[in-house]
A and B are shown apart, each in its own frame.
Chain A
Amino acid sequence: DAGVTQSPTHLIKTRGQHVTLRCSPISGHKSVSWYQQVLGQGPQFIFQYYEKEERGRGNFPDRFSARQFPNYSSELNVNALLLGDSALYLCASSFAPIATNEKLFFGSGTQLSVL
C-alpha cells in the first residue's frame, strides 16, 4: 500500500512568486494536515482538513491557504513568497481528525527554497 505521497519533492522559487504543494493521503484516510519545518526546529502546524472542511489553523499569515478535494488529497498554496518561507513542508494523514488520539502518518515532505 502506498504511504502518504507529496509532490514535488524539491522546489526552488523566487521572492514574490506563489507555490502549490500537493499531498495524497493513505487510502482510506480522510484527514490531512500540513506542517512547516525549518531546519533545526520542530514541525509547525499550518492547517488540518477533515472531510474537505478546515478543522484547525495554525499561526500563519493569510498568504497560506489550503484545500481538500473529494478524493481527500490536498493542496497547500503559499502566495507572495518570502525568504523565510524556505522550509520542509510536511503533509500527514490519518483516518480521523487530530481531535482524536489518532496516529499521524507523514509524507517525506517538499523541500521549498525561496531565493
Chain B
Amino acid sequence: RKEVEQDPGPFNVPEGATVAFNCTYSNSASQSFFWYRQDCRKEPKLLMSVYSSGNEDGRFTAQLNRASQYISLLIRDSKLSDSATYLCVVNEISNSGYALNFGKGTSLLVTP
C-alpha cells in the first residue's frame, strides 16, 4: 500500500477558478506535512508547510486532518503560472530513521 496517495489528475481549470487537491497518508505516526511544487523538468520547491490548525499563504490554503489522515491544498483565483505538479509530502519516522515520503503528485493545468 502506497504510504502517501494523491489523485494524479490532470486537473484542467480555467484562469480564476478554485481548485482543491487531496492527499491521504497511511502512517498515523507521521509528524509533519508539506506541499511542494514541481515544474516540468525542474526540482521540487516548497510551497507551504501544513499545520494542524490549517494555514494560508495568499491564494493558497492548506488543511490537515490527523484523525482522517488527510491533507488538502486549496488554490483560489488560479493563475496560468500555477500550472505545475503539486507533491504532497509526509515526514515519518520508522525503524530506519526519519524519511520524507512524497506522493506521486497531482498535475494542474490552468488554461486561459
Q: Which of B14-22, B65-73, B93-101 contacts A (4 or more CB under 8 A)?
A: B93-101
Task: Judge whether B103 and A42 touch: CB under 8 Å.
Answer: yes
- B48's closest neighbor in chain A, by CB? A103
Task: Judge whether B104 and A42 touch: CB under 8 Å.
Answer: yes
- Interface size class on chain A is 20 to 34
Closest Cβ of chain B to A46, distance in Å, is: 9
Task: Judge whether B104 and A58 touch: CB under 8 Å.
Answer: no
Chain B residues near A100 (CB, 8 Å)?
32
Closest Cβ of chain B to A58, distance in Å, is: 6
In-complex Cβ contact of B43 among A41, A44, A90, A99 (8 A): A90
Closest Cβ of chain A to B99, distance in Å, is: 5
Task: Judge whether A48 and B46 touch: CB under 8 Å.
Answer: no
In-complex Cβ contact of B49 among A56, A98, A101, A106 (8 A): A101
A residues contacting B by CB (< 8 A) are 33, 35, 40-45, 48, 54-58, 90, 97-101, 103-104, 106-109
Apart from the given pairs A41-B105, A45-B102, A56-B98, 12 other A-B contacts in the complex at a CB distance below 8 Å: A41-B104, A42-B4, A42-B105, A45-B101, A48-B99, A56-B96, A57-B97, A98-B91, A98-B98, A103-B49, A106-B44, A109-B43
